[in-house]
Structure 1
Amino acid sequence: MEKTGKIYGINGPVIYIKGKTDFKMGEMVYVSSERLVGEVISLTSEMTTIQVYEETSGLKPGELVYGTDSAIFVTLAPGILNNIFDGIERPLSEIQKQSGAFISRGVNVNSLDINKKWNVHITVSEGDYISGGTIIAETQETRAIMHKSMVPPTVSGTVIKTAPDGEYTINDTIVTIKKDDGSTMNLSLTQKWPIRQPRPITKRFGATQPLVTGQRIMDTLFPLAKGGTAAIPGGFGTGKTMNQHQIAKWADADIIIYIGCGERGNEMTQVLDEFSELIDPKSGNPLMDRTTLIANTSNMPVAAREASIYTGITLAEYYRDMGYHVAIMADSTSRWAEALRELSGRLEEMPAEEGFPAYLASRLSAFYERAGYMENLNGTEGSISIIGAVSPQGGDFSEPVTQNTKRFVRCFWGLDKSLAYARHFPAIHWLTSYSEYVDELANWYNTNVGPDFISCRTQILAILNQESSLMEIVKLIGSDVLPDDQKLTLEIARVIRLGFLQQNAFHSEDTCVPLKKQLLMMQTILYLQEKAGKLISMGMPMSVLKKHNIFEKIISIKYDVPNNKLSMFDDYKLAIDNFYNKVMEENA
């Protein structure tokens, strides 16, 4: 018998049912004859409260709400990649076929194509004992990714029948097992999983290797570990979205999940257009072959925005369970927090700081804690790295979302509007940003890139910090009064800022830089500082050194040295030696 309840009251996306019902906390429901998707968020003996993931205008008291006996879930099967979904995993391409350019209410589409036939290779045999996470079939989902269909985490038993290799839809039975309790169960390529429940793992590892992005300031100064968490906070126009685009394009993750949470529609369109045209540098295939987009633009219902990041992280956990490294771009968690605030206000909950609900911190921590480098149930290793953009109003980093996010992430790439307005991109400020992964990753960098990588990084940061202190004096009394060794520090800091930290996304050699080149650039800049410092200590004035073109020559290394011709750095070391000898000869 179907469970139902009658609408008693409606407040935006929140509806109320008076009296006791048989619904369960977190249960997915269908609202009215239009079957709008909703979720039970509060239960008492007098009232049931439901948040609706679609537009509620036109609903009226007395309409029926239908229970489903299951939580809000996502469908996990081949077909997720190279797709774009809304916040509750409905494919926008299928919705467009039904309702045109705008999503109509109550639109009912399957999350994944149930008619498409996939070429399936069965990986288990009759008599095998299988349990949660065991890979039972492999399907070439896209040119870049092999999809590994697994036993649902809560299921185990002995295989009594397998289908032959061939073409199957995602709902066809491919393996039949006899469960431990004696009952039989058919397994297909599909499993469903509730979005608010983390998928189980065997073990969590510490940070041991970086997520290499090809962006120098991120890889060198403030690295993010695979399985780590990072925040990119910044005011309007500072480049949060563009930084995430760069990471999505170039990071050494196997799979990218991009969640556009409350973003402008034209930005999501730009992501779609760019990603569909981009070629993956690792495989030569289109980047969308290993990308899934979740589009929940600012004009979509606010409750679905709240659900979208859970949908994204659940899809990421599914691919992590196959042994892949997944990077999630959440853009932006501030819009997600605003959705929480709006729903909390509708529910008449006691507001905390700036009107956000008191549980903002616990919701943020629950999201970021689902990142990590894991050993999966099937013995494979995979990771989820989360990069969350934060959009503090007016660029104020002291507001609640930024402050609470800082508590739960270990890498903070603070964007600075003065850098952005000066066209210095990425506009990550080296004085406000930090990474707590540096010590844990030091061994990896020194072993895989070069033994002095971390010491070079430390020296570069020290020069930038010295520049900041000296600039306070320069602002007061000018740079002419500084001794020459301090003038040299300012000049080397300028070389670091323009030649190393500033990066051009539109230049073929500069858009993504290998770690070895990053190290050689640092070594060259520090070698220039060493040689120029010797000249200064011998009494050569800074004005004499600046007559030579060497500082500008080192700045242009990022463009002039191709990423595949790193032997050219020897020429620059020679040029610095020639500069040193020439100054010595001229002033002998």
Structure 2
Amino acid sequence: MLNTGKIYGINGPVIYLKGNTGFRMSEMVHVGEEKLVGEVISLDKDLTTIQVYEETSGLRPGEEVVATGNAVSVTLAPGILNNIFDGIERPLEKISETGGAFITRGVSVDSLDRTKKWKAHMTVAVGDELRGGEIIAEVPETHAIMHKCMVPPHVQGTVTAVAPDGEYTIDDTIVTLELADGTEKKLSMTQRWPIRVPRPTNHRFPASVPLVTGQRIIDTMFPIAKGGTAAIPGGFGTGKTMTQHQIAKWSDADIIIYIGCGERGNEMTQVLEEFSELIDPKTGNPLMDRTTLIANTSNMPVAAREASIYTGLTLAEYYRDMGYDVAIMADSTSRWAEALRELSGRLEEMPAEEGFPAYLASKLSAFYERAGMMHNLNGTDGSVSIIGAVSPQGGDFSEPVTQNTKRFVRCFWGLDKSLAYARHFPAIHWLTSYSEYLTDLGVWYQDNVSPKFVDYRNRLMALLNQESSLMEIVKLIGSDVLPDDQKLIIEIARVIRLGFLQQNAFHKDDTCVSMQKQFLMMDTILYLYKQSRALVTMGHPMSVLKREDIFERVIAIKYDVPNDRLELFKQYKRDIDTFYQTVLEKNA
């Protein structure tokens, strides 16, 4: 018999029940006549507190609340990819078919299609001993991804029956196990998993392989590892969402989970339209074939916004358990923190800095800690990388969400308003950003790109730092008083900024750049610096060097050298040598 209770008080999305209801912490409940979805968030002997994931207007004291007996969970089975869900894994397309463009209250639809038949190939036989996580069937979920149906964690037994290869719904029994206590366990393609509980793994690997995004300022200057964490903070209009779009489109992750948490509806529409039109460069199929969108826009109930982050994480961990590399785009964690603040206020908890709850830091750390490169229960290796956008009010990086996020991420891509207004994209500022993964990934760069890669990157950073110091002097007394060697540093830094760090998302050869091309671009820029410095040392003034067009030509490499014609870089080295000889001859 399911426990029930009566509503005593209502405060926005928070409702109270008097007396001992018998409900359990984090249990999912149905509220009122419309069966609104809620979750138990506080219990004592006299009062039960529930947060409701839907609009509560019209609810009355005295209406019944019914427990479900289970925690708030998601359904894990084929059909997750190429889909768009709300914050508690309800498919928005199905909801729109029944209730129109806006989500109606109390709408009850299955998370996944229970009537569709999937072609399954069984990978176990009668008599096999199976443990949690082991793969029992393979299902082509999309053209790009093979879905691996697994034994739920914490279940083990001996196979007593296996269905033949064929087409099955996600609820059909495909394998039967005999457990240690002699009972029978029927396994289908479906698992249920509570969103707030991390899925178990064997162990975590240290960071050693980069998540290659094709974006030069990320891959070369501030890399993120597979299984790593990164934050993209920036004020309004600095390009947080667009940077995440670029990473989602071009990174070498197998699967993308895009969580639109409290973002504007038109932004999520843009993601939907773009991703459905985009062709995946890996497979030639639509990008949506390996993407799931979780849309909890700013006009949706605030409590569901808080849950949407965990829903996305659980879906990501499920695909990680199959051995895939998953990248989560959380846009934005500030809106999620604001949902925490609103709920905390309604619960009358003691506020901390700027009204955020005192447990903001622990919630953020628990979220980012679920990232990692893991050795799974079934012997495969997979990763979950989390890239969270942060929207500090007024672009103030000293506010609590940004500061607490910095404590738990190892990669910080600080977006700069002045760069964005100057149309320099990605607007990641090289002086405020950092990556702690650089040393961990050094061996990978050495083995897969070039032994000189990290040294070249450090030399570019040193030039940019020198330029920053020199620009302070230039602002005070102008550039004319600088010696020529310092004028050269400013000129080469301009080449680095415009020719390397700035990237055009709408240019076919510049939107995504291979690691090899990134290295050759650095090599060419540093070779130009070496030859120019030699000329300056011989006494040739910068005014003479700038008369040649070599600096502009090197800036244009990003457009002029196609990604599949890297041999053209040799010609640029020859052009730099010609420039060197020309200056010598003209000023002999």
TM over 0.5: yes
Aligned position for 1:384: 384
- What is the rounded CA distance, in whole Å, between the counterparts of 1:95 and 1:136 in structure 2? 32
Write the letter of the residue equivalent to 1:466. Answer: Q
Written as runs of structure 1 = structure 2, the 5 A alignment for 1:126-141 is 126-141=126-141
- What is the rounded CA distance, in whole Å, between the counterparts of 1:273 and 1:176 in structure 2? 42
- What is the rounded CA distance, in whole Å, between the counterparts of 1:163 and 1:215 in structure 2? 46
Written as runs of structure 1 = structure 2, the 5 A alignment for 1:249-288 is 249-288=249-288
Write the letter of the residue equivalent to 1:233. Answer: P
Written as runs of structure 1 = structure 2, the 5 A alignment for 1:527-538 is 527-538=527-538
- What is the rounded CA distance, in whole Å, between the counterparts of 2:334 and 2:2 in structure 1? 39
- What is the rounded CA distance, in whole Å, between the counterparts of 2:287 and 2:559 in structure 1? 25
Aligned position for 1:360: 360
- What is the rounded CA distance, in whole Å, between the counterparts of 2:171 and 2:461 in structure 1? 55
State the SS of the aligned residue for 2:339. Answer: helix
Give the Å deviation of 1:181: 1.1
Q: Deviations over 1:157-193 (max 9, x none)?
A: 0000010010000000000010011100100000000
Residue 74 (structure 2) pairs with residue 86 (structure 1): no
Write the letter of the residue equivalent to 2:8. Answer: Y
- What is the rounded CA distance, in whole Å, between the counterparts of 2:443 and 2:158 in structure 1? 44
Write the letter of the residue equivalent to 1:34. Answer: E
Written as runs of structure 1 = structure 2, the 5 A alignment for 1:360-509 is 360-509=360-509
Aligned position for 1:576: 576
- What is the rounded CA distance, in whole Å, between the counterparts of 1:220 and 1:2 in structure 2? 57
- What is the rounded CA distance, in whole Å, between the counterparts of 1:109 and 1:548 in structure 2? 67
Q: Deviations over 1:115-140 (max 9, x none)?
A: 00000111100000001001000000
Write the letter of the residue equivalent to 2:277. Answer: E
Residue 151 (structure 2) pairs with residue 148 (structure 1): no
- What is the rounded CA distance, in whole Å, between the counterparts of 2:325 and 2:153 in structure 1? 19
Give the Å deviation of 1:13: 0.1
Aligned position for 1:61: 61
Aligned position for 1:206: 206
Gaps of 5+ in 1: none
- What is the rounded CA distance, in whole Å, between the counterparts of 2:259 and 2:374 in structure 1? 22
For normalisation by structure 2, the TM-score amounts to: 1.00
Residue 201 (structure 2) pairs with residue 228 (structure 1): no
Q: Deviations over 1:515-573 (max 9, x none)?
A: 00000000000000000000000000000000000000000000000000000000000
Give the Å deviation of 1:3: 1.1
Gaps of 5+ in 2: none
Q: How many residues align?
A: 588
State the SS of the aligned residue for 1:439. Answer: coil
Aligned position for 2:523: 523
For normalisation by structure 1, the TM-score amounts to: 1.00
Write the letter of the residue equivalent to 1:97. Answer: E
Give the Å deviation of 1:451: 1.2
8 Å CA contact 2:467–2:489 kept in 1: the answer is yes
Q: Deviations over 1:342-380 (max 9, x none)?
A: 000000000000000000000000000000000000000
- What is the rounded CA distance, in whole Å, between the counterparts of 1:386 and 1:299 in structure 2? 25
- What is the rounded CA distance, in whole Å, between the counterparts of 1:2 and 1:50 in structure 2? 17
Q: Deviations over 1:28-64 (max 9, x none)?
A: 0000110000000000001000000000000000000
- What is the rounded CA distance, in whole Å, between the counterparts of 2:164 and 2:540 in structure 1? 81
Write the letter of the residue equivalent to 2:11. Answer: N
- What is the rounded CA distance, in whole Å, between the counterparts of 2:459 and 2:122 in structure 1? 54
Write the letter of the residue equivalent to 1:468. Answer: S
- What is the rounded CA distance, in whole Å, between the counterparts of 1:161 and 1:550 in structure 2? 72
Give the Å deviation of 1:154: 1.2
State the SS of the aligned residue for 1:521. Answer: helix
- What is the rounded CA distance, in whole Å, between the counterparts of 2:99 and 2:221 in structure 1? 48
State the SS of the aligned residue for 1:225. Answer: coil
8 Å CA contact 2:36–2:53 kept in 1: the answer is yes
- What is the rounded CA distance, in whole Å, between the counterparts of 2:291 and 2:66 in structure 1? 35
Written as runs of structure 1 = structure 2, the 5 A alignment for 1:35-184 is 35-184=35-184
Write the letter of the residue equivalent to 2:26. Answer: G
Write the letter of the residue equivalent to 1:329. Answer: M
Aligned position for 2:25: 25
- What is the rounded CA distance, in whole Å, between the counterparts of 1:161 and 1:39 in structure 2? 38
- What is the rounded CA distance, in whole Å, between the counterparts of 1:356 and 1:479 in structure 2? 47
- What is the rounded CA distance, in whole Å, between the counterparts of 1:504 and 1:141 in structure 2? 34
- What is the rounded CA distance, in whole Å, between the counterparts of 2:269 and 2:242 in structure 1? 13
8 Å CA contact 2:349–2:357 kept in 1: the answer is yes
Written as runs of structure 1 = structure 2, the 5 A alignment for 1:235-254 is 235-254=235-254
Give the Å deviation of 1:2: 2.4
Write the letter of the residue equivalent to 1:189. Answer: M
Write the letter of the residue equivalent to 1:392. Answer: P
Q: Deviations over 1:86-121 (max 9, x none)?
A: 000000000001100000000000000000000011
- What is the rounded CA distance, in whole Å, between the counterparts of 2:26 and 2:273 in structure 1? 36
State the SS of the aligned residue for 1:351. Answer: coil
Write the letter of the residue equivalent to 2:177. Answer: I
Aligned position for 2:567: 567
Give the Å deviation of 1:309: 0.4
Aligned position for 1:336: 336
**Percentage identity across paired residues of the two chains:** 77
Write the letter of the residue equivalent to 2:306. Answer: E
Write the letter of the residue equivalent to 1:454. Answer: V
State the SS of the aligned residue for 2:544. Answer: helix
State the SS of the aligned residue for 2:441. Answer: helix
Aligned position for 1:13: 13
- What is the rounded CA distance, in whole Å, between the counterparts of 1:345 and 1:413 in structure 2? 31
- What is the rounded CA distance, in whole Å, between the counterparts of 1:519 and 1:555 in structure 2? 15
Give the Å deviation of 1:155: 0.6
State the SS of the aligned residue for 1:438. Answer: coil
- What is the rounded CA distance, in whole Å, between the counterparts of 1:329 and 1:180 in structure 2? 41
Write the letter of the residue equivalent to 2:322. Answer: M
Q: Deviations over 1:463-497 (max 9, x none)?
A: 00000000000000000000000000000000000
Q: Deviations over 1:404-427 (max 9, x none)?
A: 000000000000000000000000
State the SS of the aligned residue for 1:223. Answer: coil
Aligned position for 1:346: 346
8 Å CA contact 2:326–2:383 kept in 1: the answer is yes
- What is the rounded CA distance, in whole Å, between the counterparts of 2:446 and 2:554 in structure 1? 24
Write the letter of the residue equivalent to 1:155. Answer: V
RMSD: 0.3
Aligned position for 1:587: 587
- What is the rounded CA distance, in whole Å, between the counterparts of 2:283 and 2:442 in structure 1? 29
Write the letter of the residue equivalent to 1:456. Answer: Y
Q: Deviations over 1:437-486 (max 9, x none)?
A: 00000110111001100000000000000000000000000000000000
Write the letter of the residue equivalent to 2:257. Answer: I
8 Å CA contact 2:2–2:69 kept in 1: the answer is no
